[in-house]
Amino acid sequence: MEDKIRVLIPEEDVNRKISEIAALISRDYAGKALHLICILKGGVFFTCELAKRLTVPVSLDFMSVSSYGSGTQSSGVVKIIKDLDEPLEGKDVLIVEDIIDSGRTLAYLMEILEKRGPKSIRLCTLLDKPERRVKKQVKVDYTCFGIPDEFVVGYGLDYDQKYRNLPYIGVVEQQ
């Protein structure tokens, strides 16, 4: 049976907000080059849309970590599935995530990436669920949308690997 999905943030609103954040980031990094780290798989749609709108020179790398099992509950275990291809030394790095929930994934990632000697490192997320934060030390520099504590899909976010390709942010209604 197909799940029913309620639209939480329509496509136009997501795209408009990404343009605003891209303009802000482009201003903040004027005169510099930006090294984007896309956190797979969820961050891939947001990273592409953001990168297309940046006016500073951009390079890209990808990392895959697992923090969740196949359901909607955090396992609390973070594991590197795919590491970066390139070193971070001397680079202005921006980590691009789909969503910050408990903050466990990012707390762990920031700790290991900071040790690789980037010139600077900041964090950008499409969605943030501040109520769910366990790791309070995670500081988010750029957030498109703060959302309530609901499990969302679309724009890269999945439910059991489904719905990543939805062009809007939606909530799977429990039937």
Binding site for Mg ion (CB under 5 A): 42, 98
Q: What residue number has its CB nearest to Mg ion?
A: 42
Judged by CB under 6 A, the stretch of 8-16, 29-37, 98-106, 115-123 that binds ligand IMP is 98-106
Q: 22 and 58 in contact (C-beta within 8 Å)? A: no
Q: What mask of x and - would describe binding to ligand IMP in positions 136 to 165, judged by CB under 6 A? A: ---------------xx----x--------
Nearest CB to Mg ion, comparing residues 19 and 74:
74
101 has catalytic annotation: yes
Q: Select from 23, 4, 15, 38 the least CA-distant residue to 163.
A: 4
| Options 28, 83, 101, 141, the catalytic residue | 101
| Choices 23-31, 54-62, 86-94, 96-104; region in contact with ligand IMP by CB under 6 A | 96-104
The number of C-alpha atoms within 13 Å of 112 and in the hemisphere containing its C-beta is: 13
What amino acid occupies position 5?
A: I
Count each helix (H run) and each strand (E run) in the chain, helices first.
3, 9
Residue 58 one-letter amino acid: V
Is residue 9 a contact point for ligand IMP (CB under 6 A)?
no
Asked if 128 and 99 count as a contact pair (C-beta separation under 8 A), the reply is: yes
DSSP label of 86 = S
Residues that bind ligand IMP (CB under 6 A): 42, 67-68, 74, 97-105, 151-152, 157
Residues classed as catalytic: 101
